[in-house]
Chain A
Amino acid sequence: MAVLKDETMSIKSSEDVVRVRQVAREFAAEQGLSLVDQTKIVTAASELARNTLDHGGGGTVRLEAINSEPRRGLRLTFEDQGPGIPDIELALKDGYTTGGGLGLGLSGAKRLSNEFEIFSRVGEGTRVTITRWK
């Protein structure tokens, strides 16, 4: 797999969440994703960026335009050094929420992506990676 282009952004404010959406949109468009697929990955990015900010105490996202013959895609890795998620399975259930939200952040992002990976340790932080292929 080749990384054609990558960028790392910090997520420290709600304006950063907006900026993440914009850059994710640019990457997705450049990789030739259809409009619907672009919308899906950008929406997933928005959910995860917000999680990073609200639950992770801020963090970063690394966006990568990737090429794995014959497919092209976009991979986003969200990372924070926050409290971590004690029960990942529970967190991935639809409707589960700790913040009074709709509880769709993690599970929603998973549904909107082709690949989803999550690592989390209580007291250390969380890393979520999503990939959308063209």
Chain B
Amino acid sequence: MERIPILKMGDYLLVTIQVDMHDRLALTLQDDLTEGIARTRARGVLIDISSLEIVDSFIGRMLGNIAAMSRVLDAETVVVGMRPAVAITLVELGLSLPGVRTALNVEQGMSLLQGARAEQENANGRAER
């Protein structure tokens, strides 16, 4: 069965979505990522959507779910590479992707993930347990 490959880069997982996904494939990705985060104890997930020409409410929901589930598993998610036409359409559609952090490209996304992690570790260190 076809799957979208998930790469491991150090403490982070990287997914590049390059095909126009049908719904089942998207749900499989959601499951695979959640499982992958838990298994590898990844600190963050980077999802590259620069190849996507269309993001509809289903994909939007998928991204939101991934962000929420990874947060529960103590990982951050950043979505990168959204195309302008897609962003304009999402605004028109009224879809704001709540809970999903975004960055322009992989480089900025990684630095966001690493920064977020550092911040969190500081906070954890300061908090009294």
Binding site for B on A (CB under 8 A): 13-15, 17-18, 21-22, 25, 35-36, 38-40, 42-43, 46-47, 50, 94, 101-102, 104-105, 107-108, 111-112
Q: Could you tell me if B94 and A43 are in contact, using CB atoms closer than 8 angstroms?
A: no
Tell me if B's interface is mostly helix, strand, loop or mixed.
helix
Q: Could you tell me if B58 and A36 are in contact, using CB atoms closer than 8 angstroms?
A: no
Count A-B pairs with CB separation below 8 Å.
Answer: 68
Q: Could you tell me if B22 and A39 are in contact, using CB atoms closer than 8 angstroms?
A: no
Q: Could you tell me if B86 and A39 are in contact, using CB atoms closer than 8 angstroms?
A: yes
Interface size on B, residues (CB 8 A): 22
Q: Could you tell me if A104 and B54 are in contact, using CB atoms closer than 8 angstroms?
A: no
Q: With the chains together, A107 CA to B92 CA distance in Å? A: 11
User: Given A17-B23, A50-B23, A94-B94, A39–B56 Cβ distance below 8 Å?
Assistant: no
Select B95's contact among A25, A46, A50, A102, beta carbons within 8 Å: A102
Q: Does B119 contact A (CB under 8 A)?
A: no
